[in-house]
Structure 1
Amino acid sequence: MPEEPEENIASGEAASTAAMFSTGEAETRAEAVVDELGERYWQKTYGGTDAFESLVRTILSQNTSDVASQPAHDALMERYGDGGSDDDHDLAAALADADQSTLSETIASAGLYNQKSAMIIGAAERICEAYGGADGFDAFVTEEPATAVREALLDIHGVGPKTADCVLLFAGGRDGVFPVDTHVHRIARRMGLAPPDADHEAVREQLEADIPGEKCGFGHTAMIQFGREYCSARKPACLDGPEACPLYDLCDRVGVDEVAESVVDPEAAAGD
């Protein structure tokens, strides 16, 4: 079974633990898909990443790849982290006091660095004011009801549903949370697991309703990996024939014309 990529920016190094879940007869097709992905990739539980660092990681990952955002994270931690030498160091406090131009330069590899630096400083200020710093925020994320945490996260400027859900999953270790990025949004609609015109939030609600809570975490990360390897936006593996895609029999291929070898967004296909 392949190892989960180290460059999964949202989860960090200590966020996953190998686990085994029942893969008996699935109650929904979405669960069957996740079971197949778990057999192909990994079955894991998540949680334990520092909540504020997870928030920063996910902001850095917005609209860019892990390859670009990981160096930005590493540079940020080198400049503003404590390197493990000071137990009293507070990353949120350090970033709340950061000079924006310096932070922008530090995270330049992530792209949109002026916007992201403003978001990070604003989030740090908010977290210091509301929770007293990174430790208080971590306690809030891990101990309070998921709905309250999600609502509070979405109230922070620059934090959208995917970012909030990544914090809930990778820091909070919450079951039943299925973050939806561009890969998940595309694959769920292409496979027919969600309506072709569903937005990111509608896809999330559908997947969380159809997949057992304990399987949502690895379903998210494994589906992203499947999107990278097989179900890309422009040339999904099924264009090379049924045998090229391991999930062919579970997929409706909405927007994919195997004869013409063409691909459109599922919403566009449904409107034809």
Structure 2
Amino acid sequence: MTITDKEKILAFLDQMYPDVKGELEYTKDYELLIAVVLSAQSTDAAVNNVTREIFKKYSTFDSLLTVKEVEFAAYFKKLGLYRNKAKHVYNLLRILKEDYNGSVPSAKEELLKLPGVGVKTANVVRAELFKIPEIAVDTHVSRIAKRLGFAKFSDDVTTIETKLRKALPTERYIKTHHQMIHFGRYFCKAQSPQCKKCPLVDICKEPKKKL
């Protein structure tokens, strides 16, 4: 990728999404953690539909601790992998209570010890809650990074994250992460990208452009 191409991409993202933020709804740190765990193989909209009901009914950390695993499963049934997610949420709440006094830790190594928390989830939590410069590579970020030439189509998520960290200024990590998600979710979609309207089409490496 040339410096000119990168500057064009970042300028376009800034123009299109100047003040973009994450779309998961939460008011407390543990609510965000739960929402991100639930977002695996589920859309943010679907997660919000589920968590609105739960977080309203169980508005405190201690009240959430009273929910049984089978009850979580019933709430999560509309989400993918809902049984695993119910188990993860049930167990991580207890670990947060016992080991962290009900708070979400900021250290990545501590987050990765929690059930259902992988690198992507840890990066989202660190960036969103603690404003620590992180790049979480989800399906949208992965697709956009490959199409725009930040990464190869054969790269795995770890390699993509490494390449994005090298390509982007540290102070842009969080903002560009959100911009790439929105660009991938609403414009440069997996199956129906708006290539004809895209000013980055000349940079795009996608072999099957919709022109």
Report the TM range for the smaller structure's normalisation. Answer: 0.7 to 0.9
Matched, 1:170 2:146: no
| Aligned pairs (5 A) from 1:115-264 | 115-134=84-103, 137=104, 140-141=105-106, 149-175=107-133, 177-238=134-195, 240=196, 244-253=197-206, 256-258=207-209
Flag structure 2 segments of 5+ consecutive residues without an equivalent.
none
* 2:38 paired with 1:60: yes
Q: Which amino acid aligns with 1:251?
A: C
Report if the CA contact (8 A) 1:119-1:158 is conserved.
yes
Letter in 2 for 1:173: K
- C-alpha distance 28-157 of structure 1, shift in aligned 2 (>3 A): farther
Task: Give the partner amino acid of 2:199.
Answer: P
Which deviates further from its counterpart, 48-57 or 183-192?
48-57
TM-score, normalised via structure 1 length = 0.68
Question: By how many angstroms is 1:246 displaced?
Answer: 2.3
Offset of residue 212 of structure 1: 1.1
Question: Matches of 1:257 and 1:72 in 2, distance apart?
Answer: 36
Amino acid at match of 2:63: A
User: One-letter code of the match for 1:59?
Assistant: V
Q: Is the 8 A contact 1:183 1:224 kept in 2?
A: yes
Give the CA deviation at 1:109: 3.1
Identity among equivalent pairs (%) = 29
Residue type at the aligned position of 1:42:
P
RMSD: 2.5
Matches of 1:42 and 1:97, distance apart in 2: 41
With normalisation by structure 2, the TM-score equals 0.86
- The amino acid of 2:10's aligned partner reads V
Choose the corresponding residue for 2:18, options 29, 42, 46: 42
How many pairs were matched up? 207
Pick closer, same or farther for the CA change 1:56–1:31 going to 2, 3 Å: farther
CA separation in 1, counterparts of 2:174 and 2:7?
A: 12
Give 1 or 2 for the bigger CA radius of gyration: 1
